[in-house]
Amino acid sequence: MADIDIRVTGRAGRITFTRPQALNAMSYDMCMAIDAEMRLWRDDDDVDLVVIDAEGDKAFCAGGDIAALYDTGTKGDFAYGRNFWRDEYRLNAFIAEYPKPVVSFMQGFTMGGGVGIGCHGGHRVVDDSSRIAMPECGIGLIPDVGGCHLLSRAPGHLGEYLGLTAGRMAAGDAILAGFADHFIPREKWSDLIEMLEASGDVAHVAAHALPAPPSALGEMRGDIDRHFGGGSLAAIQASLAGDESDFAQKSRAALERNSPLSMACTVEMLRRLRAGGGGIRQALDLEYRFTWRAMEEGDFLEGIRAQIIDKDRNPRWKHAGAEVPEADMLRMLAPLGDEALTFEEETDR
């Protein structure tokens, strides 16, 4: 496949995104190709670990390729998006639960679907260029691909802050928040990957790591926990409204750009995941409840129109300027019954 190079080199299964001109955005076909090969490698005694990287300097993977989602959704075809998200989420869980080491090298932008591929393995490498984010509330979605799982496990209320503001994490921030494990300068990556291919020994990763850089996010922990720990979008907004600090003003401006419905559901999802001690599957189940409804009942199509299609940056959100009724938020997160996300391997995949 032209957009991705999947092969076995030495003792390593190798996955390389090869569409840097599109910031390595991931299509449905790319997702399914990764899924198919990783299932074969799981049972292959000649493959000791999996290495995921990407060509180019600007991005590991800046998200999913959403043009097809918009095209089908605006025509009233919601099945395509639902199938895409279903199979993508199954792959996210598969990576998180993979029985062999998964090593990801994430330079530049890692967002959305890139987080789902790169941030669930056990050995996540970043460098000085890394910028990791979950910007989905800005397009009428929620932090998905298991993003809510990662956000719910971040220290304090960093999860609410990152999910609602779409804040970009540099290397030190990503390690603090639990989206990455190791800081390794980019110039060492090629030699390290060769060692992994030759030996199949994942211990080489930690051996090459340097101390994590300082985290700007860590310096804001006091403000973040004070303002983003209210347990609801309304409480967070009220807390920020009562503070004229630079932090509060910038946070208010970030929230004003995003879908109120998406943000309200994000806060509720993080609350549920923390209360239930939920793992990756619980998070993906909740996320799929929202995304299954996102085109038909949410702000997703309008968000894509404003940000990607017309680029007027002026989305007409539901509930704009008003508090999101609890009933609307609960409806987006209600169980799907027979349409619920499952994780069984299907013979027709």
- What the chain holds in terms of domains, given with CATH numbers, is 4-339 (3.90.226.10)
Q: What is the per-residue pLDDT for 168?
A: 97
Convert the pLDDT of each residue in 150-173 to its tens digit: 999 999 999 999 999 999 999 999
Q: Which residues of the chain have pLDDT under 50?
A: 347-349
The secondary structure of the chain, three-state, reads: CCCEEEEEECCEEEEEECCHHHCCCECHHHHHHHHHHHHHHHCCCCCCEEEEEECCCCEEECCECCHHHHHHHHCCCCHHHHHHHHHHHHHHHHHHCCCCCEEEEECEEEECHHHHHHCCCCEEEECCCCEEECCHHHHCCCCCCCHHHHHHHCCCCHHHHHHHHCCCECHHHHHHHCCCCEECCHHHHHHHHHHHHHHCCCHHHHHHCECCCCCHHHHCHHHHHHHHCCCCHHHHHHHHHCCCCHHHHHHHHHHHCCCHHHHHHHHHHHHHHHHHCCCHHHHHHHHHHHHHHHHHHCCHHHHHHHHHHCCCCCCCCCCCCCCCCHHHHHHHCCCCHHHCCCCCCCCCC
d(CA 39, CA 41): 5
Q: Tell me: the pLDDT tens digits for 191-222?
A: 999 999 999 999 999 999 999 999 999 999 99
Please indicate, yes or no, whether the overall pTM of this predicted structure exceeds 0.85: yes
- List beta partners, residue 7: 14
pLDDT for the residue 347: 39
Specify the pLDDT at position 110: 98
Q: Please report the pLDDT score of residue 72 as a whole number.
A: 94
Q: Which residues are catalytic?
A: 64, 113, 136, 144
